[in-house]
Every structure is written in structure tokens, then in C-alpha cells.
Amino acid sequence: MTSSDPFTPIFVPEAVQDAVSGEAWLRAMLDVEAALAAAEAAEGVIPAEAAGAIAAAAPDLDGIGVAARGAGNPVVPLVRALRESTGDAARWVHFGATSQDVLDSAAMLVARRALGPVLAELDAVVGDCARLARAHRGTLMAGRTLLQQALPVTFGLKAAGWLAGVAGARARLRELRGALPAQLGGAAGTLASLGDRGPAVTQRFAAELELVAPALPWHGDRRPVAELGAALAIAAGAVEKVALDVVLLAQTEVGEAAEASGDGRGGSSAMPQKRNPVGAVRARASARSARAAAGVLLEAMAGEHERAAGAWHSEWRALSEALAGAGGAAWALHEGLSGLTVDPERMRANLDLTGGALLAEHVALLTGERDAVERALRAGRPLADVLRDDLGLGEEEIAQALDPARYLGAADAFIDRALELA
């Protein structure tokens, strides 16, 4: 289906594409109708055979999007098709429900299912970060603030920071995934047509779908969608931060890391010498897409009365985009990280570019001579000279003062803590 789509496959892995595809939404809507019937049959609202027939139905949904124009949502033609394919059970199809019940519950199903591969990609990124944090616990490099070298760090610590961000965002997504609510309210949120059995049906309905039964119908309370959108944007943002760092480390002039190349990977249509950080680049693009989609979902919170006239309709594709964007970002970053070549020598060489200036703080602390240190730096004098000539330190003392490995503070402890988060 996407064989002629030149863009989507670049940014979204198949598993996530599938999970947010039209088919996935239709499957989810049919699952919702079946779960509703099953719940209603269990509560004696409709006949058990009807529920069986509805669950077994395989309606023809070809062209459903076009058929949905008249009603403005696909549930209307889906219910019609379902009725046409369920014989005597037709009258029990969609009983007591409204379009929004089906679409909202389907949205939560799609989300739960899509979060499977999305979380798997985030797991993979967390795994990458953990591996890098362990492997490069002692790999010295320059810490950089405002893109200026600041103080020594280790690449392991950098990876640990990446890990903390991605793992934290993942934790929130997991939490929300476990709390995705089914929606059932009937035409205006009272479940009127279910009489006094509304809450019981809702309970069973949610259980059928492995969703949570909400305290109240949430047709007018869009937090389930908005919270999810925000969490996906935040996961995408955590990924985007790593991707940005990778792109920066891979710069020709920095050269501290490179994504895998070969077989056309990272190549250019014009420049044979290039080794582009393609995974990170794609991740950055996807993250922006997720963020924009989350913006639509946040804006959609303000809907009119018992069903919004447009805001609701804006959610469906935006939710898919948010899932695809976050999942795609994690996937592409994982591709980049999993084949990442790290160059400790280059890291060390870059660290030494400034002749020890990164250890100025260290020297100032050791010697208590901050002013002398600052003067020396401003004059462009190597710190070793200052230590030797002005302050009379011996060579071994000088070496220790200027050894970045001796000025890493709590880096190791922080790496350990991050690894616990993985």
C-alpha cells in the first residue's frame, strides 16, 4: 500500500505504520462493536446469539472513507455495513452506543496496540543508551554548554543522561498505556438506552477490550487523548535530544561518533565522501511531526457540549501521527545508535584542543588561584605553564591537575543511577 509512498517508510517502521493504519482503526472499531455486543449480552441487554453474530461478522468496508463523508465519521457507514452482514442480529448492532463511543474506544485500542511497537522502539533506545553508558563509562570527552567546551565528562555519562530522559518518558507512556479508558456514553453521555445497566455494561465492555472502565464517559473530557499526545510529544522530545547530540558529535570537525554506513546508508546523491547521521536526522524530523500532532490534540480539548463540532474530528489522524512520530523517532534513533561508532581518541583529542582550559576550574580549586587562572586563560597561556612557572608546581602535580579523569566528580555514580532506570 505504501509502495509508492516515498516518505512514510523513511520515518515510520512497518510495525507502527500497521498499528495506526486504516485497517488497524477499522479492526479496532469492529472489535469495539463486538465487545459492546458481548458486554450487553452478558448483562442480558441483547441476545447472546446476536453478540456471536456481531463478533463473527466480516463486513465489506471497502471505500468506507468516502461513505463516511455524509456523517463526518466512519462509524455510521461501518455500522450500516455491519448490520448488512449480521442478518437477524442487525438490530442489536451498535445497540445503545453512539459514533463517539466506538471511535473513542477504538482510538484507545489503536493507542494500546501501537504503543506496543512504540515502547519496543523506546526500549531499544534505552538499551542502546545503557550499552553505551556501560561501555564508555571511562571514555573522556568534552562537556559542552552553549556548544562551547566547558568541563570534562565521559561519553558514558552523556549516554546515561540520554537514558534517563528516554526511560523517564517511556515510564510515563507505560503508565498511560495501563490507564487507557474505554468510552461508552450513548448519544449524550447518559447511557440512557441501557436503562440502569449502563455502568455494568461499561465495566464488562472495558474488560472485553482490556481497557480501563472510566468513572464517567469522557466524550467531553479529552484528557485521555491529550495526555497521550503530550506524553508522545515528550517521548519524541527525549529522543530528539539524543538525535541532536548524535548529529553534533558526527560533525566532520567533531568526529566523535558516526552512524553506520555502507550499502547506501548515509550516502548522498552528489557527494561520495559523506557519512550522514541518517538515523538521527530522521528521528529529528519525526519528533517534530509528533509534536505538531500533540498540539492538535491539546487544542482539541476545548470541544462544544456533549460532542465537539470539529475538534473531535481533528483527533483521529493527529493521534495516529503522534504515535507514528514518536515511534518513528525512537526507531530511527535506535538505528543510529545501534550502529554507532564511537571514537574515544577523537574525543580525547578534542578535549585537549584548548590546552587544558577545560580544567581551569579544577586548577583554580586546587590552587585557590582563580584570578591567576583567569588571567592566564585570557592571555592564552597554557595552564601547565602557569602551574609550573607562576605557582611552582611539580610535573606530577601538574599532570594530576590537568588530568580530566581526575575531575569527573560524581559521573560514575550518575551512570550507575541511570543504569538502574533502564
The footprint of its own copies on residues 188-217 (CB under 8 A) is 188-196, 198-199, 215-217
8 A C-beta contact, residue 286 and residue 11: yes
Task: Report how far apart, in Å, the C-alpha atoms of 302 and of each of 100, 234, 314 are.
Answer: 16, 21, 12
Q: Which residues, numbered 134-163, are part of the site for its own copies (CB under 8 A)?
A: 142-153, 157-158, 160-162
Q: Which residues, numbered 100-129, are part of the site for its own copies (CB under 8 A)?
A: 100, 102
Question: Which of 122, 211, 278, 384 lies at the binding interface for its own copies (CB under 8 A)?
Answer: 278
* Helix axes 99-135 and 75-84, enclosed angle (nearest 10): 110
Query: Is residue 3 annotated as part of the catalytic site, yes or no?
Result: no
Q: CA-to-CA distance for 327 and 236, rounded, in angstroms?
A: 8
Question: Which of 50, 54, 57, 97 lies at the binding interface for its own copies (CB under 8 A)?
Answer: 97
Q: Which is nearer to its own copies, 18 or 123 (CB)?
A: 18
Catalytic residue among 144, 222, 291, 307: 307
Question: Which of 123, 221, 390, 397 lies at the binding interface for its own copies (CB under 8 A)?
Answer: 221
Q: Which residues, numbered 327-356, are part of the site for its own copies (CB under 8 A)?
A: 350, 353-354
Give which of 12, 306, 26, 339 is closest to 183, Cα–Cα. Answer: 306
Establish if 397 lies at the interface with its own copies (CB under 8 A).
no
Q: Which three cell numbers stand for residue 169?
A: 518518558
Q: CA-to-CA distance for 18 and 324, rounded, in angstroms?
A: 10
CB of 27 to its own copies, least distance (A): 10
Question: Which of 74, 117, 156, 327 lies at the binding interface for its own copies (CB under 8 A)?
Answer: 74
Question: Which of 43, 227, 352, 390 lies at the binding interface for its own copies (CB under 8 A)?
Answer: 227
Q: Which residues, numbered 22-51, are part of the site for its own copies (CB under 8 A)?
A: 22-23, 25-26, 29
Give which of 410, 407, 394, 412 is closest to 357, Cα–Cα. Answer: 407
Residue 139 Rama label (left phi>0; alpha psi -120 to 50; beta): beta
Establish if 175 lies at the interface with its own copies (CB under 8 A).
no
CB of 98 to its own copies, least distance (A): 4
Query: Is residue 307 annotated as part of the catalytic site, yes or no?
Result: yes
Establish if 272 lies at the interface with its own copies (CB under 8 A).
yes
8 A C-beta contact, residue 99 and residue 105: no
CB of 399 to its own copies, least distance (A): 17
CB of 289 to its own copies, least distance (A): 6
Question: Which of 127, 254, 344, 390 lies at the binding interface for its own copies (CB under 8 A)?
Answer: 254
Q: CA-to-CA distance for 375 and 135, rounded, in angstroms?
A: 38
Catalytic residue among 69, 268, 317, 417: 268
Binding region for its own copies (CB under 8 A) out of 35-43, 119-127, 374-382, 386-394: 374-382
With a CB cutoff of 8 Å and minimum separation 6, the contacts of 392 are: none
Establish if 421 lies at the interface with its own copies (CB under 8 A).
yes
Give 164-232 as a 3 state SS string: HHHHHHHHHHHHHHCCCECCCCCCCCCCHHHHHHHHHHHHHHHHHCCCECCCCCCCCCCHHHHHHHHHH
Question: Which of 124, 212, 311, 342 lies at the binding interface for its own copies (CB under 8 A)?
Answer: 311
Q: Which is nearer to its own copies, 165 or 327 (CB)?
A: 165
* Helix axes 155-177 and 223-249, enclosed angle (nearest 10): 160
Residues identified as active-site: 268, 307
